Structure 1
Amino acid sequence: MASAIDSPVRTAFAPLRSRAFRRYAVGQLPSITCSWAQVVALSAVVVALDPVALAWVVALQFVPTLVLGPWCGALADRFDRRTLLMAAEAGLGLVAAGYAVAAATDRLTLPVIGVLAAAWGIVNAVDTPARRALTPQLVPPVAAPAAAALSGTLMLLGMTLGAALGGLLVPAFGAAIAFGVNALSFLLDVVVLATLRIGKSPRTPRAPRQVRDGLAHVWRTPALRVPVIVLAAVATTTFSYQVSVPTIVQEQLGGGPGAIGAALTAFTAGSLAGTILAAARGRPSRRTTVVATAVVAAGQLLVGVRPDLAFAGLAVAGLGWSVLLITVVAQLQQARPDMLGRVMSVFAVVLLGATVVSGPLAGWLAAVAGATAPFLLGAAAAALTAGSLAGRR
Structure 2
Amino acid sequence: MPLYGFDLISAMQDYAPSLLAVEKDRIGLQVGDPKSEIRKVLVTLDVNEEVVNEAIRIGANWIVTHHAVIFQPLKEIRTDQPVGRMFARILANHINIYVAHTNLDAAVNGVNDVLAAKIGLKNTKTLITYKEDPLKKLVVTVPVDHHEPVLQAVSEAGAGWIGNYSHCTFNVEGTGTFLPRDGANPYVGKAGELERIREIRLETVMPASLESKVIQAMLEAHPYEEVAYDIYPLHLKGTPLGFGKIGDLPKRMKLDDFAGLVKKAYACDGVRVVGDPHEQVRKVAILGGSGGRYIADAKRQGADVYITGDLDFHTAQEALAQGLSLIDPGHYIEHWVVPQVCKKLKERLNRQVEVEPSRVDTNPFRFI
TM-score above 0.5, yes or no: no
What TM-score comes out, normalization by structure 2 length?
0.23
Larger Rg: 1 or 2?
Answer: 2
The structure carrying a bigger helix percent of its residues is 1
Higher relative contact order (CA 8 A, sep 6+): 1
The structure carrying a bigger strand percent of its residues is 2
What TM-score comes out, normalization by structure 1 length?
0.22
